[in-house]
């Protein structure tokens, strides 16, 4: 049986239509104001610039505004902290995105944590992560939250399932595991140094590849009927999981590209709209 394709691009397009209506309604009720997402790009990394541009385009598609802030690679930690502080106190800004990664001399964690909780629409602060992990209201980290939304869109319940998350980054692997735990999955967190990784993956009802290495997880490690979520993207259009052979064995798979990626951006926009609705009405 062919695997169900979890089409993130299609799910995101459907959500954008609904978000456009919400933005229009908000604009009508708030004297023409719309939610505003501020994006901060430090340095001249081409991939980061592309991602920021894609997020700005997504804002415009739903009728909201973006504020693009571009800083040189020579920016200091203190200089970046001051920029974020100004955005925190700006009442016209409802969401703040600091594009990852920043140049290595900058203390990225300190800068993430400077973002005000109510504007942390990318879900990157320690405060937001802690609240999310404790089941308290917070904006979820965009990629794992997007994955949870994608699974829900296609009616894939995870309660009672054994989920194996391969990856432990603070903005993907760790929050992914906490979100699945909160949704009543039994969660195993693995990483590139896990012993007997293959045997652990074979036990998974649902596997999330978030290790950051191209096709690190081999298809023959994945049991028949598993749900396969690939959160990686690498040159050549491959993810963290060898997906090809799984199209006839898995219950469902996320394609690369077109699976998790569109839902990440869509979640960022959705959470900015939510923040704007709280602030403007």
Read out DSSP for 141-189? PHHHHHHHHHHHHTT---TT-EEEEE---TTTHHHHHHHHHHTT-EEEE
- CA 87 and chain centroid, separation: 22
User: Is 234 contained in some domain?
Assistant: yes
pLDDT band at 266; cut points 50, 70, 90: very high
pLDDT tens digits for range 99-152: 999 999 999 999 999 999 999 999 999 999 999 999 999 999 999 999 999 999
Q: Are residues 109 and 158 in the same domain?
A: no
Please, what is the Cα angle at 271 between 137 and 7, to 5 degrees?
115
Q: Does the annotation mark 99 as catalytic?
A: yes
Q: Are residues 62 and 155 in the same domain?
A: no
Q: Which two tokens stand for residue 98?
A: 């600091």
Over the stretch 218-233, which tens digit does the pLDDT of each residue have?
999 999 999 999 999 9
Q: Would you state the structure tokens that stand for residue 130, as one six-digit string?
A: 């802690």
- pLDDT(1) > 90: no
* Same-domain status, 112 and 199: no
Domain membership of residue 65 as a residue range: 31-120
pLDDT digits (tens, 9 = 90+) for 74-114: 999 999 999 999 999 999 999 999 999 999 999 999 999 99
> Residue 21 contacts by C-beta under 8 Å, 6 or more apart in sequence?
none
The answer to whether position 127 is within a domain reads no
The CATH number for 148's domain is 3.40.50.720
Helix (H) / strand (E) containing 273: helix 260-280
The whole-number average pLDDT for the span 208-227 is: 97
* Model confidence band, residue 56 (pLDDT cutoffs 50, 70, 90): very high
User: What pLDDT score does 132 carry?
Assistant: 95
| Domain end residue (candidates: 60, 87, 120) | 120
Is residue 200 in some structural domain?
A: yes
Type and span of the H or E element at 38: strand 36-42
Is residue 112 included in any domain, yes or no? yes
Of these residues, 7, 119, 120, 122, which one is catalytic?
122
Clarify whether residues 55 and 157 are in a common domain: no
- Model confidence band, residue 182 (pLDDT cutoffs 50, 70, 90): very high
Active-site pick, 99, 145, 270, 271: 99
Q: Tell me which DSSP letter residue 238 carries.
A: B
Does residue 235 lie within any of the structural domains? yes
Residue 222 inside a domain? The answer is yes
Residues 155 and 86 in one domain: no
CATH classification of the domain holding 90: 3.40.50.10860
Evaluate if residue 177 carries a pLDDT over 90: yes
Burial tier of 47 (Cβ tally within 10 Å: 0-12, 13-18, 19+): exposed
In a domain, 6, yes or no: no
Q: What is the pTM of this model?
A: 0.96
Q: Regarding beta strands 227-230 and 252-253, do their DSSP bridges make them parallel or antiparallel, or are they unpaired?
A: parallel
pLDDT at 108: 97
Total of domains in the chain: 2
Note the pLDDT of residue 191. Answer: 96
Q: Kindly state the percentage of the chain with pLDDT values over 70.
A: 100
274 counts as catalytic: no
Selection from 222, 181, 176, 177 nearest residue 199 by Cα: 222
Catalytic annotation, pick one of 7, 55, 119, 120: 55
The set of residues, in sequence order, having a beta carbon less than 8 Å from that of 11 and lying 6+ positions away, is 149, 150, 153, 154, 262, 263, 266
Domain-ending residue, one of 90, 120, 150: 120
Per the structure block, which two tokens stand in for 38?
């501020």
**Claim to verify: residue 100 and residue 175 sit in the same structural domain:** no
Residues 146 and 257 in one domain: yes
Do 247 and 173 lie in one domain? The reply is yes
277 pLDDT more than 90? yes
Summarize the confidence of residues 43-55 as an average pLDDT: 94
With bands split at pLDDT 50, 70 and 90, how would you rate the model's confidence at 281? confident
Residue 66 CB contacts under 8 Å (≥ 6 apart), including other chains: 36, 37, 38, 39, 55, 56, 59, 60
Say whether both 216 and 111 belong to one domain.
Answer: no
d(CA 191, CA 211) in angstroms, rounded, equals 6
Q: Does 232 reside within a domain?
A: yes
Which residue do the tokens 């959160």 mark? 231
Please confirm, yes or no, whether 270 is among the known catalytic residues.
no
Given a contact cutoff of 8 angstroms between Cβ atoms, the answer to whether 257 and 265 are in contact is: no
């Amino acid at each position: 049986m062919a695997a169900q394709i979890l089409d993130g691009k299609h799910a995101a397009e459907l959500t954008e239509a609904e978000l456009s209506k919400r933005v229009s309604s908000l604009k009508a009720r708030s004297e023409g104001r719309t939610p505003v997402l501020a994006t901060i790009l430090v340095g001249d990394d081409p991939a980061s610039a592309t991602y920021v541009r894609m997020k700005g385009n997504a804002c415009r598609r739903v009728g909201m505004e973006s504020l693009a802030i571009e800083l040189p690679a020579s920016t200091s930690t203190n200089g970046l902290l001051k920029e974020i502080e100004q955005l925190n106190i700006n009442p016209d800004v409802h969401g703040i995105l600091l594009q990852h990664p920043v140049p290595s001399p900058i203390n990225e964690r300190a800068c993430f944590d400077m973002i005000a909780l109510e504007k942390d629409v990318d879900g990157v602060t320690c405060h937001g992560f802690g609240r999310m992990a404790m089941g308290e209201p917070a904006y979820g980290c965009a990629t794992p939250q997007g994955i949870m939304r994608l699974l829900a869109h296609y009616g894939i319940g995870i309660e009672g399932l054994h989920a194996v998350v391969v990856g432990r980054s603070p903005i993907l692997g760790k929050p992914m595991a906490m979100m699945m735990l909160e949704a009543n999955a039994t969660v195993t967190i693995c990483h590139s140094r896990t012993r007997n990784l293959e045997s652990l993956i074979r036990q998974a009802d649902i596997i999330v590849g978030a290790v950051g290495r191209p096709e690190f997880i081999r298809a023959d490690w994945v049991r028949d009927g598993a749900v396969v979520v690939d959160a990686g993207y690498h040159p050549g259009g491959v993810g963290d999981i060898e997906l090809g052979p799984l199209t006839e064995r898995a219950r469902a798979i996320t394609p690369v590209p077109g699976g998790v990626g569109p839902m990440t951006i869509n979640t960022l926009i959705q959470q900015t709209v939510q923040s704007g609705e709280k602030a403007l009405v």
